[in-house]
Amino acid sequence: MDNMTILLVEDNPDDELLALRALKKSSVPNQVVVVKDGQEALDYVFGTGKYQDRDVRALPKVVFLDLQLPKLNGIEVLRSIRGDERTKRIPVVLLTSSDEIQDMVDCYESGANSYINKPVDFNEFVDQVRLLGQYWLGVNRTPALY
């Protein structure tokens, strides 16, 4: 099963729109699932809550995860993903406006694959997300996750 789904965990509607626009331009075939908070992200990944009927064997190819989220923050989501044998190898990219060194340290110590600051400039943000999509879905190789 070669799943090309991106899980975008983003509570800011403007950043969500920009990320979706950039991913659409990435020319890498994919499906983007958007969730708005940390709990919904875990529900999607583990097939619980409103995602209880989802085939959990079809794991996302990559998770683009905001750090500051309602209900559970990005680090809590990351730790839950890394703490489960079924999901610990899913690439997780923190896409955040935080430039705090401690946030970066906490994310990497919790198993982040990458930590990216969201640029303030619209065009830079679009370019950055487009490149992330191309890299994680086109260039990077991962072993089968299931």
User: CA neighbours within 13 Å on the CB side: how many for 7?
Assistant: 30
Q: Classify burial at 112, counting beta carbons within 10 Å of its beta carbon; exposed 0-12, middle 13-18, buried 19 or more.
A: buried
What pLDDT score was predicted for residue 1? 43
Instruction: Return mean pLDDT, the chain.
Output: 88
pLDDT, tens digit (0-9, with 9 covering 90-100), for 56-92? 989 998 999 999 999 999 999 999 999 999 999 999 9
Length of the chain: 146
Q: What angle do CA 31, 85, 91 make, to 5 degrees?
A: 40
pLDDT, tens digit (0-9, with 9 covering 90-100), for 108-137? 999 999 998 887 787 887 788 778 877 887
Percent of the chain whose predicted confidence (pLDDT) is above 70: 92
Domains defined along the chain, listed by start: 5-139 (3.40.50.2300)
Rounded distance between C-alpha atoms, residue 1 and residue 59, angstroms: 10
What pLDDT score was predicted for residue 107? 95
> 113's torsion region: left (phi>0), alpha (psi -120 to 50) or beta?
alpha
Query: Residue 138 phi/psi, 5° resolution?
Result: -115, -40
Which of 143, 104, 138 is closest to 6 using CA atoms?
A: 138
For residue 10, pLDDT over 70 is answered with yes
Confidence of residue 3 (pLDDT cuts 50, 70, 90): low
For residue 146, pLDDT over 50 is answered with no
pLDDT, tens digit (0-9, with 9 covering 90-100), for 43-55? 999 999 999 999 9
C-beta separation of 39 from 71 below 8 A? yes
- Where is 117: in which H helix or E strand? strand 114-117
Coil vs helix vs strand at 54: coil
C-beta separation of 19 from 8 below 8 A? yes
- Whether the model clears a pTM of 0.85, i.e. scores above it, the answer is yes
Confidence of residue 27 (pLDDT cuts 50, 70, 90): low
